[in-house]
Structure 1
Amino acid sequence: MIPPGFPMTFTNAVPFASTERLILRGFMPEDFEAYSAYRSLPVIYRFLYRDPPSAEALRERFDASLNSHFSEDGGSLRWAVLRREDGVLLGEVSLKLTDKAALQAEVGYTFNPAYAGKGYATEAVRAVIDLSFGTFGLHRIFARLDTQNIASVGVVERLGLRREAHLVENDRFNGVWGDEYIYAVLSREWADRAGA
């Protein structure tokens, strides 16, 4: 049974969103060159506990994102984030449905470091959280971040998400243990902030 307010499916239909400076839409085949330019950078994977993918794996991941499904646990949507003034692809925001029955999803984001420090990630994640609660009727959105990823921590803290947990040495990559923070916000908390 689909919870009230939850969409049946969003196959091949990532909802469009826009902000003052940004356009958020589904990825298109012509985005691959700009996508691969930042997604092949080793610095992007510093806090993701994996090595950069091969060119073939990168292409497969991109092609899979063109056919998003957001109707069952594990399904996800990915938005291409473009700068409104010139259409430059800045990065992406994703939303993964982690528990349909509990109306919960995880938000994630990856941006080209060439455009860091301008507030684009915060603006884009805010738009996706708005969609999460307003369009999808979700109850809770959370983010999992490496504790050393100061830039990503700054994004969720600027948006007012609450730090709910500090997971100690819960992941390991190349023999090195890493900690994670979990940040979250409930739909009623988000609505209260919007109304304030």
Structure 2
Amino acid sequence: MTTITTPRLSLTRFVTDDWPFFLRLRQDPQVMRFMGEMLSEEALRSVFVSRCADPGVFVLRDKFGEALGDIGLRISPKNPHEADVGYALLPQAQGKGYASEALRAVCEYGFTTLGAGHQCLGAG
């Protein structure tokens, strides 16, 4: 299983045990106010299953293993030298630089492992 480490974070692929965290994250009104409509639990389950299978999507964990959010990198199907990045953090993890730290690490992973080019576009 792929793990990316930074000075403060461990980024791991989603596994089935992460479902309760994913559900809590995606049902938090403070998180979702930036991400669009709230989905039903059934719809979220479908999203979660696809995240588990995606090699560019990770759970952000602190040094104690506590899940703080998620981040995903998707290489553009039209231009493999471009990638889009999206992330979500629990309210208590926001404003501490975790997203920036994870973004740098995920972009490096995208360049070296997933074959993205030299651009990381659309963070947020």
Taking structure 1 as the reference length, the TM-score comes to 0.57
Structure 1 CA distance for aligned equivalents of residues 52 and 80 of structure 2: 26
Match of 1:133 in 2: 111
Q: Deviations over 1:104-152 (max 9, x none)?
A: 11011111112112211111111101112222342221016xxxxxxx5
Structure 1 CA distance for aligned equivalents of residues 38 and 69 of structure 2: 16
The one of 98, 101, 112 aligned to 1:123? 101
Structure 2 CA distance for aligned equivalents of residues 52 and 133 of structure 1: 32
The one of 22, 25, 33 aligned to 2:9? 22
Answer 1 or 2: which has greater helix percent.
2
The answer to whether the aligner puts 1:80 opposite 2:59 as a matched pair is yes
The one of 32, 38, 43 aligned to 2:30? 43
Structure 2 unmatched ranges of 5 or more: none
RMSD over equivalenced CA pairs, Å: 1.8
Answer 1 or 2: which has greater strand percent.
1
Structure 1 unmatched ranges of 5 or more: 1-12, 70-76, 145-151, 153-196
Higher relative contact order (CA 8 A, sep 6+): 2
Write the mapping of 1:17-166 to structure 2, written as runs, cut at 5 A.
Answer: 17-48=4-35, 50-68=36-54, 77-84=56-63, 86-99=64-77, 101-139=79-117, 140-143=119-122, 152=124
Q: Which has the larger radius of gyration?
A: 1
Structure 2 CA distance for aligned equivalents of residues 119 and 42 of structure 1: 21
Task: Count how many residue pairs are aligned between Structure 1 and Structure 2.
Answer: 123
**Is the contact between residue 60 and residue 67 of structure 2 (CA under 8 Å) also seen in structure 1?**
yes
Q: CA deviation at 1:83?
A: 0.7
